[in-house]
Amino acid sequence: MSEAVAPASAVGKPRRTLTRAVIRFAGDSGDGMQVTGEQFTTEAAWAGNDIATLPNFPAEIRAPAGTLFGVSSFQLQFGSQRVYTPGDQLDALVAMNPAAFKVHLGDLKPGGILIVNTAAFEDRNLAKAGYQSNPLDDPGLAEKYRVHQVDITGLTRKALEDLPLKAQEKERCKNFFALGLVSWIYTRPLDPTLDAIKKRFAKNPHFVDANTRVLKAGHAFGETAEMFSEHYGIEPAEMAPGVYRSMTGNRALAWGVLAAAQRTQLPVVFGAYPITPASDILHELALHKRFRIRTFQAEDEIAAMGSIIGAAFGGAIGVTASSGPGIALKGEAIGLAVMAELPVVIIDVQRGGPSTGLPTKTEQADLMQAMYGRNSEAPAVVLAPASPGDCFFIAYEAIRIAVKYMVPVIVLSDGYLANGSEPWLIPDPTALPDIPVTFRTEPEEFFPYLRDAATLARPWVRPGTPGLEHRIGGIEKEDVTGNISYDPDNHDHMVRMRAEKVRRVGQEIPPTTINGPHGGEVLVVGWGGTYGAITAATEEAQMEGKAVASIHLRHLNPLPPDLGQILRQYRRVLVPEINSGQLVRMLRAEYLVDAVGFNRVRGMPLQTQEIYEAVGQLLEAKP
């Protein structure tokens, strides 16, 4: 644990205070941009800033060096005020090669800081990026941006001259030069990175030495080189007091499952088949056998789903995680869980589709699949986390609801939440709501589909309980007795019963939080990973005195009971989504409101600015 220390002030150069900054490290897949970004994030977190991050990497494992599609980047926004998103336009861009320069320059603000590694701008790399001539020779560049041409490779090599490392090993340290330099520009403390270097290379003192030296060399370069005339400070943000950690969505989902495992004292069977961007949940859970979590890498997603249904039948908690293509495969088995009324949780970390689509990019286009993507009417509860840290609470809540109502619960995360991180106030696990579990043991008057009056849940019975031997299955059954039934009226009753069970989960949903006036011109309604961008855009409009509010749905099926009434308090309803309009359809169908969508399906998070503009257009539109 560490205190949030004020960054050591550098000597000499003037320091200007900013409230926030958006920076992006971009380079080749092999340039270590993800590590650089994560490390800078830690430095900013130590300095007490609020942060949001956006890692962005190619689907190819080892994309050919220097190519446009091999570019990997890490963006973050950090600030002394609340930070909702990784930011739209960049205040600073580090481009480690011509391909990164070409792909990302367009996102840099006019007047923004541009740091380029000149050594990489040689003929071969220029050709691979499709440049006829060196773009750095363009005199217009310096007019538009504050360009810093730095021979990062050469300076790295020089700093390591006397070390007994191979040339290639030395060159691999160059990302830390960039990190050192940017840390100087934004006066973030080097200490956490120095610690991380020591830990990471504990087995190889030469690497510790090399990376430390290069990091410091980058820092010193900023301090001494004439091209940098000033640097920036960003005060600590006002954040709720407490102990914080950095949290990604995937890890938070996994830990939420562990929290529920500990609370219920039940074993959890986690069955999954690897798929980007969900695999890390499997990897994380496999590390925590101490929680009696039994991870099962199944032969496919159907088997994964089957395994958790079997586990739930046995009286354990069943959880699976996948992405859109895998959820499609699970569909038939999810229907079985609906029919058998067993508590299972299905996590969908959405990615760009259809088919293989954009495996490493984010999207919100599986909402309809979660709602309706099964044969016949097979309703499931659907939840969606709003931020990386919220994934923890959503996973826990999903298990709580599944067990209480004996229903499958689908959690819709997405690629942005999965890999993005935020400073997260560590919760007190004892303050989480209880998850009472009762297994039926009395044989008297037992029937498999007897129902609890409040929740309509059927009894959960562990095989091994004497006197309660019974058979269930996917065939329609008579309510209460559970006997096979082809009776038309019984089927109609059971279809309604399964829907009503899900509807009853509405009892669990707290009143919707309205961000802004409780009535007015425009209400922005969002769900999932767009929370940050929507909130930031709404607050921007509010600061200009506009009667704009936003709400964010964490419960998508059932929808919050107070939602219909809230929607009617505004002249217009705007629903921004990374799909072609799915929640907006649900809202129009359910509440007969003339909601309009704002839709961009680019594999990228929505931007604050574009939502702000869409709000503006609605405000201007004639009533």
For residues 39-68, which are near another protein according to CB under 8 A?
42, 45-46, 48
Binding mask 142-181 for another protein (x = CB under 8 A): ----------------------------------------
SS3 469: coil
Residue 431 binds another protein, judged by CB under 8 A: no
Q: Which of 135, 154, 233, 236 binds another protein (CB under 8 A)?
A: 236
Residue 244 binds another protein, judged by CB under 8 A: yes
Per CB under 8 A, which region of 11-19, 227-235, 293-301, 572-580 contacts another protein? 293-301
* Strand-pair partners of 78: 21, 51
Contacts of another protein in 266-285 (CB under 8 A): 267, 269, 271
Contacts of another protein in 437-456 (CB under 8 A): none
Contacts of another protein in 3-32 (CB under 8 A): 3-4
Contacts of another protein in 504-543 (CB under 8 A): none
Query: Residue 249: what residue type?
Result: G
**Min separation Cβ 281 and another protein, Å:** 15
Residue 603 binds another protein, judged by CB under 8 A: no
Alpha-carbon span 378 to 337, nearest angstrom: 9
Q: How many CA atoms lie within 13 A of 184 on its CB side?
A: 24
Compute the Cα dihedral for 441, 443, 446, 448 and give only its sign.
positive
**Min separation Cβ 336 and another protein, Å:** 5
Per CB under 8 A, which region of 308-316, 405-413, 452-460, 587-595 contacts another protein? 308-316
**Min separation Cβ 552 and another protein, Å:** 24
Contacts of another protein in 466-495 (CB under 8 A): 466-475, 483-484
Number of residues that bind another protein (CB under 8 A): 79
Ramachandran class of 603: left when φ > 0, alpha when ψ lies in -120 to 50, beta otherwise: left
Q: Which of 308, 345, 435, 615 binds another protein (CB under 8 A)?
A: 308
- Residue partners of 358: CB distance under 8 A and separation at least 6: 59, 351, 352, 603
At residue 71, φ and ψ (nearest 5 deg) are -75, 135
Residue 294 binds another protein, judged by CB under 8 A: yes
At residue 361, φ and ψ (nearest 5 deg) are -110, 160
Alpha-carbon span 92 to 221, nearest angstrom: 17
Dihedral angle of Cα 479, 484, 487, 491, to the nearest 10 degrees: 50
Q: Which of 16, 203, 290, 622 binds another protein (CB under 8 A)?
A: 290
**Min separation Cβ 472 and another protein, Å:** 6
Beta strands in 393-465, from DSSP E residues, in sequence order? 408-414, 421-425
Query: Residue 437: what residue type?
Result: V
Binding mask 321-360 for another protein (x = CB under 8 A): -----------xx-xx---x--------------------
> Which pair of tokens denotes residue 223?
């301090």
Terminal alpha carbon distance of the chain:
55
Q: Which of 135, 429, 506, 561 binds another protein (CB under 8 A)?
A: 429
Residue 375 binds another protein, judged by CB under 8 A: no
Alpha-carbon span 413 to 385, nearest angstrom: 6
Alpha-carbon span 584 to 222, nearest angstrom: 49
**DSSP label of 376:** S
At residue 360, φ and ψ (nearest 5 deg) are -100, 5
Q: Which of 159, 160, 316, 383 binds another protein (CB under 8 A)?
A: 316
Cβ neighbours around 67 below 10 Å, total: 18
Q: Which of 259, 345, 406, 412 binds another protein (CB under 8 A)?
A: 259
DSSP string for residues in 187-229: T--SHHHHHHHHHHTTT-HHHHHHHHHHHHHHHHHHHH-TT--
Residue 310 binds another protein, judged by CB under 8 A: yes
- Residue partners of 394: CB distance under 8 A and separation at least 6: 253, 256, 383, 384, 385, 411, 413, 554
Alpha-carbon span 528 to 601, nearest angstrom: 15
Nearer to another protein, 93 or 258 (CB): 258
Residue 315 binds another protein, judged by CB under 8 A: yes
**Min separation Cβ 292 and another protein, Å:** 6
> Which pair of tokens denotes residue 499?
């829907």
Binding mask 180-199 for another protein (x = CB under 8 A): ------------x-------
Question: Cα angle at 68 between 67 and 73, to 5 degrees?
Answer: 110
Cα→Cα distances 59→276, 356, 370, Å: 9, 11, 25
Nearer to another protein, 161 or 428 (CB): 428
Q: Which of 6, 8, 426, 592 binds another protein (CB under 8 A)?
A: 426
Residue 124 binds another protein, judged by CB under 8 A: no
**Min separation Cβ 201 and another protein, Å:** 17
Nearer to another protein, 73 or 307 (CB): 307
Q: Which of 52, 116, 309, 338 binds another protein (CB under 8 A)?
A: 309
Contacts of another protein in 544-563 (CB under 8 A): none
Nearer to another protein, 83 or 556 (CB): 83
Nearer to another protein, 374 or 555 (CB): 374
